[in-house]
Amino acid sequence: MKRGLIATACGLLIVLTLAVTLPRGEAAAVGSANLITAAGAGVFPAGANVLGIELAGGTFGVGAQSSTTGQALGTLEVQYNGTSLIGLSQWLTVNGWITSATVNPDGSVTLNGTGTLDMGDGTPPAGGLALVATLNSTGIAVSIGSTTFPTLPKSDGWSFVE
């Protein structure tokens, strides 16, 4: 009787220990994953601007991996170059951690995460901002915090969703 109780207690202890200490990923559903890879550059059409800064073009680099659960990991970096209100060259940089991704029916991919925005005007970068980016074969659209950049057309480089 006593040995039976001890054996039961030990069994329960083992099960509980395994449940508590295994990484969360073990229990997560893992299906086919998508790789989102891109590196390129583009030129804005005349008139493109953000926050009063006239945008000329930009470059981007993306490396992210997603699962069928929508969870993702990876990074996104986009740098825009433009001209400030007083005519000075200004480079705006978005740097983000990707935490979820959705591949859309049209083949584009929507990336979500958290990022920093460096306005390139000497002010400290703002971090911890909500980041949403949509990448397709023709360009990349980025919204970070309350700032929405016009879609950067891709005139050079590669964007791959596979």
d(CA 149, CA 23): 38
Out of 48, 55, 72, 142, name the contact with another protein by CB under 8 A.
72
Query: Residues 116, 16: contact at Cβ < 8 Å?
Result: no
Is 45 in a helix, a strand, or coil? coil
Rule CB under 8 A: is residue 7 a binding residue for another protein?
no
> Is 61 a binder of another protein (CB under 8 A)?
yes
* Chain CA centroid to CA 45, Å: 25
Minimum distance from CB of 149 to another protein (Å)?
Answer: 15
Spell out a b/e string for 126-138, using b for 16 or more CB atoms within 10 Å of the CB, else e.
eeebebebbbbee
Using CB under 8 A, which of the segments 27-35, 47-55, 82-90, 145-153 binds another protein? 27-35
Q: Does 138 bind another protein (CB under 8 A)?
A: no
39 contact partners, CB below 8 Å, separation of at least 6? 60, 61, 62, 157, 158
Closer of 85 and 100 to another protein (Cβ) = 100
- Residue 75's nearest CA partner among 101, 49, 40, 57 is 101
d(CA 101, CA 119): 26
Q: Which stretch binds another protein (CB under 8 A): 46-54, 72-80, 82-90, 102-110?
A: 72-80
Q: Does 71 bind another protein (CB under 8 A)?
A: yes
Residue 41 or 141: which CB sits closer to another protein? 41
Which chain residues interact with another protein by CB under 8 A? 6, 9-10, 13-14, 17-18, 21-26, 28, 30, 33, 35-41, 59-67, 71-77, 79, 93, 95-99, 113-116, 118, 124-125, 127-128, 131, 156-160, 162
